[in-house]
Amino acid sequence: MTVTTQPSGPELADVHAIVEQVWSSFLGDEEPLLPRYADAAEEGTPAFPAEHVWSAAVSVHGGWTGTVTVELSSSVAQSLTRLMLAMEDEPLDDAEVADAVGELVNMIGGNIKSLMPGPSALTLPVVAAGRAAHSSELAEVARFDAMWNGEPVRISVHAPQS
Amino acid sequence: MAPASFQLIAALVLRETSIIYEPRKEYLVEARLHPLAAQAGCASVDAYVQMLSINPVERRKAIDALTINETSWFRDNAPYQAFTETMLPALMANRTERRHLSIWSAACSSGQEAYSIAMLLDQHLPAGWTADILATDVSTAMLTRVENGRYSQVEMNRGLPATSLVKYFTRAGSEWEIVPALRKMVRTRHLNLAEPFPVIGTFDLVLLRNVLIYFDQPTKHGILRRMHQHVASDGYLLLGSSETTLDLPADLHAMWDREQIGRVQAHRPAGGLTVPRPSSTTFSAALTGARP
Amino acid sequence: MTESPMTQRAMIIDDSKAMRSILRRIVSGLSFETAEAAHGQEALDQMEAGFMPDLCLIDWNMPVMDGYTFITEVRKRPEWRNITLMMVTTESEQGQIVKALAAGAHEYVIKPFTPDAIVEKLELLGLVSKGVLA
């Protein structure tokens, strides 16, 4: 008997391509996003070297079910908010940063959804100050780590444990 | 990268494409030229920039690399409109027996021009007609892209009507892939326009758009001279919108008639008839520039 | 901005202020007068109140009323038939594009996009003439 299970997650190369396109479209290509792959010697997840972090997540439900999460250092979050709002020196409030980070995960999550079997629906983004927490029922199925301006950016995809 | 090299390259790009590279983009210019410099065997980007002043092929590659986001589907719209509304009906009227059209996308880059034409042929060619599109480029990497027929999401957004996107492409991972029916219409071949052309035959439409700007005057003239025998006597040659007022020597000027079609100026072999002539006639006209 | 019958109007409908800001800069640069709404219902309310757009740029996933519902609502009103509707969304499955076009969207831009992509689509739609940025 054949048991069909959902494909666990997207290909890392596709996730990379999507993040790269979102990044270069809205944040310019003067400062490239540099991929950072886990050191072979390093056990498990590489460190996320930032003190202040923003995180945002969208969920996909339907033909494929999972969660797409973006985590970035506060300084990356501020920079991308300024670039998207075309603001230079004016002070930013948290609502503006949350909005921009939410739109970032919406764009990445929506494109990751289209890599997976559909039809599926995308939730509105949930944004938080601090690292993302994941339910124990979800397992990480893809992760893309990068550095931008010397600060960390992480995109991870979680799906139900099969 | 030396400031002088950056100034040289910025001036070149500005002159050829009207794109402005500000000094703060030095990093970007260096990042894009570095692989080309290495490929060309230059020890540095500075040395490569020096080479550009004497090497038109490298100059074109460099400008391509620096204007990498400039390729759109149906670029400039007007030539494609002129094709469906005027050129295609006229060509078909003269080919009711052969029922076949040949088109050449010279300097095809990543293939948007060739596939845009393929989409229009799919929509407008009546049943029983066939067409082939030859896509040539000096870059084999570009030819591979055309053969793969795969485009990123960002490329798909550039000027492609949504109805055509859903009709002619399927999702392939993070990319979109052209449907087999259109891909079959397009064949690729490596060709350097600056050198004598191989035996490629005659075409009903030649698209030579936004490429002459990369060549110096004598090379441009040589290309337009050689091109003459590859355009059917009732065919069309389309140049880029900024390339139609080229200063040509008298004999070369006389080789081409200019015809305004909407907002587009088409070049047609001078003295062309409304019915195809034997190719030898076309050939001698090409050599002498004389009207029969 | 002085009121002139020649000035085209654009309604930008997206729940993200950052995205509305990006789109506003692009269409303002094309001389559109703009209004913004955070969801479909807010856009409908502004249209009822008198801001009649020539063009709507519409996100799909939004609270209160999503972009797909907004399109079907606009298409129920014959007096609004001249409004050009363009989706600008991260929804990128072929099926979603087909669905939006069938509901009455004229064009579809997938996020992420570059400013050129918006300009070229508006050229295709005949809302912007070629070379306006030159």
Q: How many CB atoms lie within 10 A of CB B180?
A: 10
* Better pLDDT: A99 or A24: A99
| Mean pLDDT on C9-34 | 96
Chain C's closest residue to A27, CA to CA, is C114
Of the pLDDT bands very low, low, confident and very high (cuts 50, 70, 90), residue B291 is very low
pLDDT value for A114: 93
Tokens standing for residue A119: 């039809």
Q: Residue A57: CB partners within 8 Å, gap ≥ 6?
A: A67, A68, A69, A70, A105, A109, A125, A126, A132
pLDDT tops 80 at residue B238:
yes
pLDDT tens, residue by residue, B32-50: 788 788 888 888 889 999 9
Top-confidence residue, B7 or B177: B177
**Arithmetic mean of pLDDT over chain B:** 86
Arch. (CATH architecture) of B78-288? 3-Layer(aba) Sandwich (3.40)
Q: How does pLDDT run across B120-130, given as a tens digit for each residue? A: 999 999 999 99
Geometric angle at alpha carbon B246, from B87 and B111, rounded to 5°? 50
Determine, yes or no, domain membership for A47.
no
CATH number at residue A114: 3.40.1550.10
- The CATH code belonging to domain B3-66 is 1.10.155.10
In a domain, C90, yes or no: yes
Give the residue numbers spanning the domain of C66.
9-124
Domain count, chain A: 1
Sign for the CA dihedral angle at C24, C25, C26, C28 comes to: positive
Q: How many domains does chain C have?
A: 1
Once rounded to an integer, what is the mean pLDDT over residues B136-164? Answer: 92
Q: What is the mean pLDDT of residues C86-96?
A: 95
The percent helix, strand, coil of chain B (3-state, each to 5) is: 50, 20, 35
Both tokens assigned to C130? 């070629």
pLDDT tens readout for residues B251-270 = 999 999 999 999 899 999 99
pLDDT at A7: 64
Residue C49 C-alpha, separation from nearest chain A C-alpha, in angstroms = 27
- Tell me how far apart the alpha carbons of residues B160 and B106 are, in angstroms, rounded to a whole number: 21
Q: What is the pLDDT of residue A59?
A: 96
Instruction: Give me the residue from A21, A102, A114 closest to C112, CB to CB.
Output: A21
Question: Tell me: the pLDDT tens digits for A81-97?
Answer: 999 998 888 899 999 99
> A33-65, pLDDT tens digit by residue?
888 765 544 555 667 877 899 999 999 999 999
Q: How far apart are CA C8 and CA C30, in angstroms?
A: 9
Q: How do the domains of chain B map onto residue ranges?
A: 3-66, 78-288
Q: Do C63 and A124 touch (CB under 8 A)?
A: yes
Q: What percent of chain B has pLDDT over 70?
A: 88
Domain that holds residue A113: 12-34+53-160
Say which DSSP state B83 is in.
Answer: I
Residue type, A137: E
Residues C79-94: what's their mean pLDDT? 96
Q: For A14, which of B24, B25, B173 is closest by C-beta distance? A: B173
CA distances from residue B193 to B175, B189, B190 in whole angstroms, order as listed: 30, 12, 10
Q: Which residues in chain B are contacts of A11 at CB distance < 8 A?
A: 173
- The length of chain C in residues reads 134
Share of chain B above pLDDT 90, in %: 55
- Token pair of C124, please? 């295709």
CB contact under 8 A, A115 and B25: no
Q: How high is the pLDDT of residue A35?
A: 82
CATH code of C44's domain: 3.40.50.2300
Query: Any idea what DSSP says for residue B273?
Result: -
Q: Cβ separation of B153 and A14 shorter than 8 Å? A: no
Q: Using a CB cutoff of 8 Å and minimum separation of 24, what contacts does B225-230 make?
A: B225/B252, B225/B255, B225/B286, B226/B196, B226/B197, B227/B106, B228/B255, B228/B256, B228/B269, B228/B282, B228/B285, B228/B286, B229/B202, B229/B279, B229/B282, B229/B283, B229/B286, B230/B104, B230/B197, B230/B200, B230/B201, B230/B202, B230/B203, B230/B206
How many CB atoms are located within 10 Å of the residue C8 CB? 17
Least confidently predicted of A104-118, A119-133, B37-51, B209-223:
B209-223
Q: How close does chain C come to A63, measured CA to CA in Å?
A: 12
Residue B87 has pLDDT above 90, yes or no: yes
Tokens of A20: 């790269």
